[in-house]
């Protein structure tokens, strides 16, 4: 359904059962849950899908070893269950991550941990071998029945430096355990959304649209076409993460706005292109504490190294970016754990920041704010009830969406008829245990070369079949100097609600975050998008300026850096080049 069809439908029947506001991973998750139960549901996202916190995560799908220190055992157990489900349901994007904790002494943190447990202190402290061992043993205990990945192991100093010679010479050993990572979180969000939309015409979604309270009730405004229409849902789900309180103010009568529910903290990351750093990691994530006791992470990601993050209270989630002092902090933490590795400024190829949607808290140490999630309903006479989704990690999007959906169904007097716990997502459906025969069959069916199918499979999982079939329907060519092709790009624009350059270059693909985006690719995609959307030259110039400004201001990638990445390489994408 396109934007006009959605608006025309709402003009005829303006009362969907449920309006979900916010298209981050949690809003998409509850939308999918409700859509699969046959509920008439409309999702409205003000910007692009998964462009808020859901694009700013550390890319870990994890139980949260650190949250054990806060006594959040239930959250860790639930997160580990969801982690293992994602390994099975989205194998194309979620994979095991060997994680190594450098250990600096034996007993640090034991006394402080006990004091914290008794509620006598909130201060973070160093974690010695005993504390790390305890945490990892609990991790193993919580996953012992499923045993999806091996348990933890400890190494002494000699074996640690044998494997990671570049580590800080002060450490006494290391521990390794398994967690997971997500390679394309924004794409997984889009696949979940499509899963919901495919449930039927009762499920509709709009990005770049917003709902506000008008004189007569709620009004939906389309940021793309400028259209507006009144809507009267039976229930509203406020899934706007760090914006929850602002959204409540925008949709509820003044006297019904609850006390602040959210108290977000900002976190920033750097993507670094430094071969020595990549090699020093030996394929592992380093999960280490900086000198101030804060946990930082560092791992190989899309051929570069992802390093993060910071944890700073913010009031306005709309204006965050990685500031210079945060970059310095992250680089200092890196120099602490790997002292001999030098990072040149131009090796920082991308940076990103987002706001963790944490429950309102007075805690002076941001790391101690609870990471769990819950829902609360705001009841108002004369307006639909508003169910607010508070907190929620990326890892637990499914269980959080299920929780919210169950509460909504109860209010609608309906029952769940579809379970999502074991439901494969997007390109994780019918995922072959051995991929080669699957790829060869697809290459034979479509006439695409095996290497091209290989590339599509690594990007889209089994959804590569749909992309390849579209590509094969016409003459194709490489998309400037990227590994994508023109028809692939057209397919993404038509099927995945691409309205702006950043939707495609930063979220439907990983060109931005992987530091592979060049100015030639930007211009090639601009031409295609302008063609598809019928933009005038003036509109094209404005879109180009908008995107380049966003890239420079929010991601530290200026035009000169983009230009320096232009190459003469043209990627052969001929449909029959077998
Ligand atoms: C630095 C950092 C690192 C993290 N690392 C991890 C990690 O490694 N693993 C993990 O599991 N979790 C991690 N998280 C947490 C995780 O990313 C978030 O908890 C999760 O993405 C929150 O999703 P959300 O949908 O609730 O919020 P968001 O993704 O922020 O979505 C809210 C959406 O609402 C939209 N919106 C706002 N106002 C309106 C409005 N009025 N109308 C319509 N739409 C509106 C916004 O545009 C936004 O898209 C991290 C978070 C951060 C910030």
- Report the chain's C-alpha Rg in angstroms: 24
- Ligand 1 lined by 241 (C-beta under 6 Å): yes
Q: What is the Å distance from ligand 1's center to 357 Cα?
A: 6
Instruction: Give percent of the chain above pLDDT 90.
Output: 84
Q: Is 145 exposed, middle or buried (0-12, 13-18, 19+ CB in 10 A)?
A: exposed
φ, ψ (nearest 5 deg) of residue 474: -155, 175
- Cα separation, 264 vs 336, in Å, equals 27
Mean pLDDT confidence for 516-541? 98
- Split at pLDDT 50, 70, 90, the class of 234 is very high
Query: Alpha-carbon torsion 44, 50, 56, 59, what sign?
Result: positive
Mean pLDDT confidence for 97-117? 73
- Ligand 1 lined by 60 (C-beta under 6 Å): yes
- Ligand 1 lined by 354 (C-beta under 6 Å): yes
Closest to 239 in 3D by CA, of 14, 442, 34: 34
Would you state the pLDDT for residue 382?
A: 86
Q: In this predicted model, what pLDDT tens digit does every residue of 557-574 receive, in sequence order?
A: 999 999 999 986 555 444
CB proximity list for 279: less than 8 A, separation 6 or greater: none
Mean pLDDT confidence for 19-31? 98
Would you state the pLDDT for residue 147?
A: 84
Closest to 207 in 3D by CA, of 366, 31, 345: 31
Would you state the pLDDT for residue 319?
A: 82
- Cα separation, 524 vs 518, in Å, equals 10
What domains are there in the chain, each with its CATH number? 3-53+186-262+371-412 (3.50.50.60), 265-356 (3.30.9.10), 474-564 (1.10.8)
Q: Got the DSSP string for 190-205?
A: HHHHHHHHTT-TTEEE
User: Which atom in ligand 1 lies closest to the alpha carbon of residue 29?
Assistant: 25
Would you state the pLDDT for residue 48?
A: 98
- Ligand 1 lined by 355 (C-beta under 6 Å): yes
Q: In this predicted model, what pLDDT tens digit does every residue of 181-212 receive, in sequence order?
A: 999 999 999 999 999 999 999 999 999 999 99
In this structure, what is the dihedral angle of CA atoms 10, 11, 12, 15, given to the nearest 10 degrees?
50
Q: What is the Å distance from ligand 1's center to 21 Cα?
A: 13
Question: Element (H or E) spanning 216, and its range?
Answer: none
Q: Is 198 exposed, middle or buried (0-12, 13-18, 19+ CB in 10 A)?
A: exposed
CB proximity list for 141: less than 8 A, separation 6 or greater: none
User: Which atom in ligand 1 lies closest to the alpha carbon of residue 266?
Assistant: 53
Would you state the pLDDT for residue 568?
A: 66
Phi-psi region of 247 (alpha: psi -120 to 50; beta: other; left: phi over 0): alpha
Question: Element (H or E) spanning 104, and its range?
Answer: none
Closest to 300 in 3D by CA, of 313, 318, 286, 310: 286
User: Which atom in ligand 1 lies closest to the alpha carbon of residue 79?
Assistant: 11
- Split at pLDDT 50, 70, 90, the class of 108 is low
- Ligand 1 lined by 243 (C-beta under 6 Å): yes
Q: Which of 48, 57, 87 to mutate to test the pocket of ligand 1 (most atoms within 8 A of CB)?
A: 57
Would you state the pLDDT for residue 264?
A: 86
Would you state the pLDDT for residue 110?
A: 58
Q: In this predicted model, what pLDDT tens digit does every residue of 249-306 receive, in sequence order?
A: 999 999 999 999 998 899 999 999 999 999 999 999 999 999 888 899 999 999 999 9
**Chain-centre distance of CA 39, in angstroms?**
26
- Ligand 1 lined by 394 (C-beta under 6 Å): yes
């Amino acid at each position: 359904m396109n934007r006009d069809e959605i608006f025309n439908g709402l003009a005829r029947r303006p009362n969907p059962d449920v309006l979900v506001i916010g298209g981050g991973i949690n809003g998409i998750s509850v939308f999918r849950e409700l859509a699969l139960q046959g509920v008439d549901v409309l999702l409205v996202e003000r910007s692009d899908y998964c462009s808020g916190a859901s694009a700013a995560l550390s890319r870990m799908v994890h139980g949260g070893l650190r949250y054990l220190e806060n006594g959040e055992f239930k959250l860790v157990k639930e997160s580990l269950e969801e982690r293992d489900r994602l390994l099975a349901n989205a194998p194309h994007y979620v994979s095991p991550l060997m994680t190594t904790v450098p250990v600096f002494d034996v007993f640090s943190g034991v006394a402080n941990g006990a004091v914290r447990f008794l509620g006598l202190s909130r201060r973070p402290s160093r974690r010695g071998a005993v504390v790390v061992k305890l945490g990892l043993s609990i991790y193993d205990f919580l996953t012992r029945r499923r045993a999806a990945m091996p348990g933890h192991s400890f190494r002494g100093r000699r074996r640690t430096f044998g494997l990671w010679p570049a580590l800080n010479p002060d450490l006494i050993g290391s521990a390794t355990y398994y967690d997971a990572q997500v390679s394309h979180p924004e794409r997984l969000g889009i696949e979940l959304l499509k899963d919901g939309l495919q449930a039927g015409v009762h499920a509709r979604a709009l990005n770049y649209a917003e709902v506000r309270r008008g004189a007569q009730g709620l009004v939906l405004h389309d940021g793309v076409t400028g259209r507006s229409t009144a809507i009267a849902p039976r229930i509203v789900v406020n899934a706007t993460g760090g914006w929850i309180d602002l959204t409540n103010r925008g949709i509820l009568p003044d006297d019904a706005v609850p006390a602040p529910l959210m108290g977000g903290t900002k976190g920033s990351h750097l993507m670094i292109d430094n071969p020595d750093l990549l090699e020093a990691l030996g394929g592992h994530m380093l999960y280490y504490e900086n000198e101030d006791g804060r946990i930082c992470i560092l791992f190989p990601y899309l051929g570069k190294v992802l390093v993060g993050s910071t944890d700073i209270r913010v009031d306005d989630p709309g204006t965050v970016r990685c500031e210079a002092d945060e970059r310095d902090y992250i680089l200092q933490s890196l120099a602490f754990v790997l002292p001999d590795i030098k990072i040149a400024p131009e090796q920082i190829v991308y940076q990103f920041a987002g706001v963790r949607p944490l429950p309102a808290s007075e805690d002076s140490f941001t790391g101690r704010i609870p990471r769990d999630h819950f829902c609360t309903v705001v009841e108002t006479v004369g307006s639909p009830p508003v169910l607010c989704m508070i907190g929620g990690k990326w890892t637990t999007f499914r269980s959080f969406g299920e929780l919210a959906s169950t509460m909504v169904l109860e209010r609608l007097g309906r029952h769940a008829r579809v379970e999502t716990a074991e439901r494969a997502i997007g390109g994780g459906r019918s995922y072959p245990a051995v991929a080669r025969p699957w790829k060869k069959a697809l290459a034979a069916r479509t006439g695409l070369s095996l290497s091209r199918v290989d590339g599509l499979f690594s990007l889209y999982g089994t959804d590569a079949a749909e992309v390849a079939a579209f590509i094969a329907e016409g003459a194709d060519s490489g998309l400037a100097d990227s590994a994508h092709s023109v028809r692939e790009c057209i397919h993404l624009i038509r099927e995945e609600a691409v309205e702006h350059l950043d939707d495609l270059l930063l979220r439907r693909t990983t060109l931005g975050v992987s530091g592979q985006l060049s100015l030639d690719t930007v211009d090639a995609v601009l031409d295609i998008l302008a063609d598809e959307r019928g933009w005038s030259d003036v509109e094209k110039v404005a879109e180009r300026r908008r995107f380049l400004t966003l890239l420079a201001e929010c991601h530290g990638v200026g035009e000169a850096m983009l230009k320096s990445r232009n190459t003469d390489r043209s990627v052969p994408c001929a449909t029959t080049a077998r």
